[in-house]
């Protein structure tokens, strides 16, 4: 039997649906991830293994294969940890097999079973809502995801144990309210200056802004228009 979990791949701010297929089959013990994973995704198996052990769930001594479909789409980032772990938990019966139906999942795992925040939760939530899916994400990202829609189901958890208890009905995780990610809030006293170096990619756009600034052309700066000289 193949357990399926929905997640996403990012192309800039666009999202592409990814089907995480989990198979636990007879054979020599192994844990393989296929489907054009990058280094961070390939390393997920060690984080998943440690997080599940820390949560009291041992991986079966069988052949585990994770396929990230479509196989020709490059997969990057640590947000595949949580869908892989939940797919394995469903495959071995630690959570109900249908618990993940209708949800898109993303999140990074710590070795202690905690679920760490990841980038791109809001685009992922918007994409999931467009596909009529809910979202399972880190607790720290729940307020960000809630902006996507007031009606879509959102489960934001701090650990694998919380998710397992939620799906078993022994602990209910309430839907987060829209808000800001704490780590992303800037204040007048602690904020670092805005820097184009913080932006990933967009080399042409950054170059255009640098040329415009060097020439004294109008640019928006902290909500005010800088007049050209």
Give the 3-state DSSP-derived string for 85-135, with helices as H, strands as E and coil as C. HHHHHHHCCCCCCCCCCCEEECCEECCCCEEECCCCHHHHHHHHHHCCCEE
Q: Do residues 50 and 81 make contact, with C-beta atoms less than 8 angstroms apart? A: no
- Could you state, in chain order, the average pLDDT of each consecutive group of 10 residues for the chain (229 residues)? 95 91 96 96 96 93 97 95 98 95 98 96 96 97 96 97 95 90 45 67 79 71 45
Give the number of other Cβ atoms within 10 Å of residue 181's Cβ: 15
Closest-CA residue to 111 (of 67, 66, 45): 45
Gyration radius (Cα) of the chain, Å: 20
Q: How far apart are CA 77 and CA 46, in angstroms?
A: 15
Q: How far apart are CA 20 and CA 27, in angstroms?
A: 21
Domains of the chain: 2-181 (3.30.230.10), 186-226 (no CATH)
Q: What is the pTM of this model?
A: 0.79
Q: Do residues 44 and 105 make contact, with C-beta atoms less than 8 angstroms apart? A: no
pLDDT computed for residue 103 by the predictor = 98
Q: Is the peptide bond before 70 cis (omega within 30 degrees of 0)?
A: yes
Phi, psi (rounded to 5 degrees) for 143: -60, -35
What would the two tokens of residue 46 be?
């060690």
pLDDT computed for residue 213 by the predictor = 78
Is the Cα torsion angle 152, 153, 157, 160 positive or negative in sign? Answer: negative
Which residue's structure tokens are 């592409």?
16
pLDDT computed for residue 180 by the predictor = 66
Length of the chain: 229
pLDDT computed for residue 190 by the predictor = 45
What would the two tokens of residue 2 be?
């193949």
pLDDT computed for residue 204 by the predictor = 82
């Amino acid at each position: 039997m193949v357990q399926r979990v929905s997640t996403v791949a990012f192309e800039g701010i666009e999202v592409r649906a990814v089907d995480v297929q989990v198979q636990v089959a007879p054979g020599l013990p192994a844990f393989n991830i296929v489907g054009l994973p990058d280094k961070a995704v390939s390393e997920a198996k060690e984080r998943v293994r440690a997080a599940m052990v820390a949560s009291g769930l041992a991986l079966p001594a069988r052949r585990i294969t994770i396929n990230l479909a479509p196989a020709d789409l490059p997969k990057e980032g640590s947000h595949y940890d949580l869908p892989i772990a939940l797919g394995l938990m469903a495959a071995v019966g630690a959570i109900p097999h249908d618990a993940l139906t209708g949800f898109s999942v993303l999140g990074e795992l710590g070795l202690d079973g905690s679920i760490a925040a990841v980038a791109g939760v809001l685009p992922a939530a918007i994409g999931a809502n467009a596909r009529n899916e809910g979202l399972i994400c880190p607790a720290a990202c729940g307020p960000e995801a809630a902006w996507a829609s007031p009606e879509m189901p959102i489960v934001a958890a701090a650990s694998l144990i919380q998710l397992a208890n939620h799906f078993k009905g022994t602990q209910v995780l309430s839907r987060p309210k829209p808000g800001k990610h704490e780590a992303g809030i800037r204040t007048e006293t602690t904020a670092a200056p805005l820097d184009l170096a913080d932006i990933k990619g967009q080399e042409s756009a950054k170059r255009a802004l640098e040329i415009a600034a060097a020439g004294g052309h109008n640019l928006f700066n902290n909500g005010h228009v800088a007049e050209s000289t």
